[in-house]
Amino acid sequence: MKINSFHLLNFKRFTELTVTGIPDKAKLVLLIGSNGSGKSCVFDLFDWLNKGTFKEIPYSKEDSLYYYRKDKGQESSVEIRLSNGESIVKHDWQFKTNPEQAKKFIGRSSIRIVSRISNDANPGNVATDLDSPQTFIENDLRFTTDVFLYIQAINKALREPVFSGRQVDVLKIFQDFIEPFNTSLKNIFGNNPNTTIRIAEFEDATPQAPAKLIFIKGNSKINYDFLSHGEKQVVILLLNFIVRQEYYKDAVIFIDEMDLHLNTKLQYNTLKEITERWIPESSQLWTASHALGFFDYANEYEKAAVLDFDDFDFDKPQSITPSVKNDYHIFEIAVSKEFIEKIFRDRTIVFAEETDAPIYNGLGLDNIVFFDGKDKLGAFYKAKELNLKAIVDRDYITDEEIALLKNTYPFLSVLPYYSIENLLFHPDNLKEYYGSIDKIFDRAAYIEAVTKEKQTELAYISGGIAKARDGYPFFKENENSKLLKSFRENYRGIIDLLSSSDFETYYKVLPAKEYGRAISERQNINKRDLAGTNWFKQAILKTMS
């Protein structure tokens, strides 16, 4: 079940709110905006769908109406349109259509950190989601029940074969319960065993003591109770999905502020892991955040829609549609342009492609700092929106097009060759590198080897040029529509460059990262060492001049 749109009247923060244009494929809907902009009121809306019919009303019926109504004298109402063509309509406590669909709105409060596991599990209410908090301003204590269900499932898998005379399938138990948990923990926290936690043991509850989940970190075993808040946050979210998988099928899952206590990298990894691994394709995850890591992931993920609630006067009717990807206003909600300028005053800020930025920063260029722009698209749009600078790979672009790009986008620098690898493995750079370690480098033989591989692969390389150029972000503004048309039609100019027998001509657009890797002169060399040559540094300075 996925939402395409909804129309809301007289509810909480909103006089009248219309949200439209959420794509059918949207698996993630991220709500962004400053504090108090109304994001969490949308989750109150989803929770309200269950209230009075499937779940208890939080207060008396009359008080509850006042809790949800903005104007106390008028009814609240909502119409939600789903991607399957159906609608859910509710006026105050009365459903007009599809009450059963409202059961499939399943949420988690932002106040969900359970400091210590207790014996207060309530597994009987899981199937109906009745163990949720009465309102979304209250503590969400379902983790204790999740721990109970997790341990109960493992115990059942261990004990059932004993009474039927079958052998316990330890491998299956590991694959069903332990491996998914630890794989997700590794994907979020990374591969370093000294900083990544993994589940190692559990202890059943007794009348005197609650259950325990024991994790390993480095050489230490750590009870859940003693994990950091950030680690607990991730464990709580993951275990909820592991033990309640069957209830999240064909559902709208809404979790407020999933990013609490997480740094930027963990924010990105957590949202990616939950969205791509634990949200079924038939379901949709809604979450709200101010976190840069969440913005970054939603910006990249093709099945994400971003709804920006910032700077609206919700005392008046308002309409919201998904924001354009790479609009840097989205990122400014987390990190303002003024903050960036203040921190890096008197320095030139340049956005570069993800793996290139550390190499550029290693050059120690005076008063220049390189930021990770993720890819060509991200670097270009971030620099454009913030009025900063960007340096991107050339890829499949002609010399004439580079001149046009510099004229159209003065903030943009384009490498002279296909990618940074072309510079690092350029014969002149290799010659300087090998000379620095007193080794002979046969420049002519190296060029001959690169040329031979290029000729062998020419047809294959040429086949992907037009499609690759179609994804470039340049000339897509309305005023550049004529330039975009001619740019897209000029892919043959790249084939002409590649077909040349002159090394400096074809090497400009040869993907050196993919081709030439097996040549002996390229083996067992650290890229940072190759980036330490004067030739490479001068090439970057010339590019940015």
What 361-364 contacts at long range (C-beta under 8 Å, 24+ apart), as own/partner pairs, is 362/528, 362/531, 362/532, 363/531, 363/536, 363/537, 363/540
The contacts of residue 20 (CB under 8 Å, 6+ apart) are 4, 5, 319, 320, 321
Only one residue has tokens 């970057």, namely 540
- Alpha-carbon radius of gyration of the chain: 28
Cα 311 to Cα 37: distance, rounded to the nearest angstrom: 7
- Please give the pLDDT value at position 494: 92
d(CA 500, CA 506): 6
As a whole number of angstroms, the distance between CA 313 and CA 315 comes to 5
Give the integer Cα–Cα distance in Å for 304 and 92.
Answer: 31
Q: pTM of the entire structure?
A: 0.66
The dihedral of CA 180, 185, 190, 191: what is its sign? negative
What are the pLDDT digits (tens) for 303-344? 999 998 887 889 999 999 998 665 555 666 666 656 666 666
Comparing 114-123, 361-370, 482-491, the range with the smallest average pLDDT is 114-123
Query: In this structure, are residues 117 and 213 in contact, taking their beta carbons and an 8 Å threshold?
Result: yes
Residue 257 · residue 111 · CB < 8 Å: no
User: What's the whole-number average pLDDT of the chain?
Assistant: 87
Q: State pLDDT tens for residues 522-533.
A: 988 988 899 999
Sign of CA dihedral 373, 378, 381, 382: negative
Whether 415 has a pLDDT exceeding 90, the answer reads yes
65-119: per-residue pLDDT in tens?
778 888 888 999 999 999 989 999 999 888 888 888 888 898 888 888 888 888 8
Q: Give me the pLDDT at residue 491, please.
A: 86
pLDDT for 402 equals 94
Sheet hosting strand 3-11, strand order edge to edge: 94-97, 87-91, 77-82, 3-11, 14-19, 318-320
Q: Is the pLDDT of residue 348 over 80?
A: yes
pLDDT digits (tens, 9 = 90+) for 169-214: 778 778 888 899 999 999 999 988 888 999 988 888 888 888 889 9
Q: Say if residues 234 and 189 touch (Cβ distance below 8 Å).
A: yes
Task: Give, as one character, the DSSP assignment of residue 322.
Answer: P
C-alpha count within 13 angstroms, C-beta hemisphere, residue 71 = 13
Query: What's the rounded Cα separation, in Å, for the pair 532 and 429?
Result: 10
Which burial class, exposed, middle or buried, applies to 477 when counting CB atoms under 10 A from its CB (0-12, 13-18, 19+)? Answer: exposed
Q: Is the pLDDT of residue 27 over 80?
A: yes
Q: What is the pLDDT of residues 367-406, one digit of tens each?
A: 888 888 878 888 998 888 888 899 999 999 999 999 999 9
- Beta-strand pair 94-97/87-91: antiparallel
User: At 424, phi and psi to the nearest 5?
Assistant: -60, -40
Q: Looking at the domain 3-111+248-332, which fold is it?
A: Rossmann fold (3.40.50)
Q: Decide if 264 contacts 291 (C-beta within 8 A).
A: yes
| CA dihedral sign of residues 532, 536, 540, 541 | positive
The answer to whether 424 and 513 have CB atoms below 8 angstroms apart is no
Return the domain boundaries, the chain.
Answer: 3-111+248-332, 393-544
Higher pLDDT, 48 or 540: 540
- Is 348 or 165 the better-scoring residue by pLDDT? 348
450, pLDDT greater than 70: yes
Residue type for 381, please? Answer: Y
